Structure 1
């Protein structure tokens, strides 16, 4: 890759799913290049609960400053994307003012994107904190009906249970007086114009590392990590949250369990155990609930890792490509599948690329870093085609699909076929008869399947 002038405002970003070693790589790069780390994990923003939020320990930080880590009280509302972008941008500026290198460690991916890309959160829409719209706290079905009135295009786009997107579209309208669909259409036009002017835009001064682990290995690693969290005192932290919820309920406060610290993986899974413990249930039932909570937590952790991986592949990589020459080539994949080779396969390659990036020297192409990097980056260079918006409802299954491809998957899926088969079978039974209350004559009309197995 050709040489460039050293970046005036460099930013390192470490991406990857949970359990891949993002924090370890970020700390090592910070030690070598006068870096300071900015946390972008929504749960790790909260103070306390180091086990359930999986915070990096003080020993593991090796004296490197970590910002926005343990930053807000447990009962604070979660930060929205605009709030995080404002606070993180401020911290990045302060780090640079000290002559140090800001390193953003990605956990909550939609926090990271506004710091990398323009227009991700409709930057032209500034929420006025002095304004309050009670309608936004109404149930999801109420929000959807209101959105249909003011922006039917966006209402048609979202799944009726997708509260976050429905609420955001309505919020944009309430703050701007304009439908979000219009604003997004203008955003597309701006991106198209920016692509044409890419040659005259500011240089891309960000370097990204995706820490990758092969899925089967990562799954085993995550399961083991959850076991270790339990041994380290996870249930004490769940108990702390459970007591906090009980205390606030006694004070008459109504908590939104879909937001904030209550969404940390571990609390919801072990809450039934805590309730049973409070009710004085026997040891056998408690042990059963504890084991069930442990398995549910492992499943939720694996699901979250998969979600993070999909976000990188389907959102961040396409957005990198939209930035013009150089942006996509700033993404390097390092392979942490074998933890015994973490230094040689993750730290050293990343450090070598970082040194060249900061010096403005020619860097290797990302596909040249390893066979794994070549395979992954070649695969994502040809992403699957975008799905066609088309909201359809299966009245039989009571399922809503928002794209034509999702609809085709549904009607061809095993679940839909089972329901159809059952419906067809029931339609053949007289209304005053159960399927098992048929006459011998009806039964004898069926093929004798036992003959198929006769010797």
Structure 2
């Protein structure tokens, strides 16, 4: 089966993914698909860093941004269906789609073609298993038919619980399947030194607060988005919501949010390293280089790995 190329640009928050993706999209005359779990929501612009002005200035078509109302839910399987639709449209126009974002689970679900992302959470089952140790969870896994646990990842208690959750669901349900295109991916990652990453995060947060992050959250609340949902969305929306609820003051908002974003960036990089362990080849580029140098390095990789149309 002929495979259609896909260029993936990933990296931790504030690494400059979108800037590079737009520069490449201009050169390749193509379109961008977002892999960001919060940019799908309308009205969540400053806190998610949508960079809409940059897209519009460069006249780059984009997909999977502003496709849901703030306050709604969005999950990895919905992302996969939306991605495949956008991917087909762009590929049919004989362009190389560029997938850009930092939501590693979304990207990994495509590259690993993992079907079980469609299995919903079972909070009751998770609660029942939360105090089980590894040995008990392994015993639980053995109670299911072998074909239902063939997918099981035994590397952590969290993944064991998910494997049990999937097996329990498959006992009485059939997974919804949909036709998927065959993809030939080139994955480029942007990475900073820790000190550089933290400086970028701190500077960007200061800028977002000046640009109206607090006012954006106030607007979302006025539209009817619940405080609980904002807290669920995390990071900027969580801590600004706590500030507006007068649970923390402004200085505490800045300090706690900065630390939370540092920790989030670390988790992102940990997930990308896990992707590599799972067999995904990531070509890492130093994010602190000038844009023209990054773009040249990326184009060299593209010319080597992807047959340009």
Q: TM-score range by the shorter chain?
A: 0.7 to 0.9
Deviation of residue 171 (structure 1)?
A: 3.9
Give the root-mean-square deviation of aligned CA atoms: 3.4
Deviations 1:76-126 (A, max 9, x none): 1122x22211221121011111111111113110100121123x3447xx6
Q: Which residue of 1 aligns with 2:68?
A: 72
CA distance in 2, matches of 1:204, 1:65: 21
Is the 1:150–1:173 contact (alpha carbons within 8 Å) kept by the matching residues of 2?
no
Q: Which runs of 5+ in 1 are unaligned?
A: 1-6, 128-132, 179-202, 250-254, 278-287, 322-327, 361-455
How far off is 1:319 after superposition? 2.2
Pick aligned residue for 1:239 from 218, 231, 248:
218
| Length-normalised TM-score, structure 2 | 0.79
Any idea what SS the aligned residue of 2:9 has? strand
Secondary structure of the residue aligned to 2:66 is: coil
Which residue does the alignment assign to 1:152? 140
SS of the aligned residue for 1:337 comes to coil
Alignment match, 2:243: 273
2:277 and 2:132 map into 1 onto residues whose CA distance is 32
Change (3 A) 1:290 1:76: same
SS in 1 for 2:249: helix
Residue aligned with 1:104, SS: strand
Decide whether aligned partners of structure 1 residues 311 and 95 sit closer, same or farther in structure 2, where only a CA change above 3 A counts.
Answer: same
1:297 lines up with 2:257 in the alignment:
yes
Question: What corresponds to 2:169 in structure 1?
Answer: 175
Q: 1:319 aligns with which of 278, 286, 298?
A: 278
| SS, match of residue 43 in structure 1 | coil
SS at match of 2:8: strand
Partner Cα separation in structure 2 for residue 45 and residue 151 of structure 1: 40
Q: Does 1:343 align with 2:292?
A: yes
**Gapped runs of 5+ residues in structure 2?**
142-151, 173-181
Once the two structures are superposed, residues 155-191 of structure 1 have per-residue CA deviations (whole angstroms, 9 ceiling, x without a partner) of x9765xx5x974x44542343118xxxxxxxxxxxxx
**Compared CA separation, residues 33 and 8, structure 1 to 2 (3 A):** farther
Contact 1:136 1:143 in 2 (8 A): no
Aligned to 1:107: 102
Name the residue aligned to 1:42: 37
**Structure possessing the higher radius of gyration over alpha carbons:** 1
Match of 1:223 in 2: 202
Report the counterpart of residue 179 of structure 2 in structure 1: none
Aligned counterpart in structure 2 of residue 141 of structure 1, from 103, 124, 127 = 127
Give 1:209's aligned residue. Answer: 188
Q: CA deviation at 1:262?
A: 3.0
Q: Establish whether residue 352 from structure 1 lines up as the match of residue 300 from structure 2.
A: yes
> 1:298 deviation in Å?
0.8
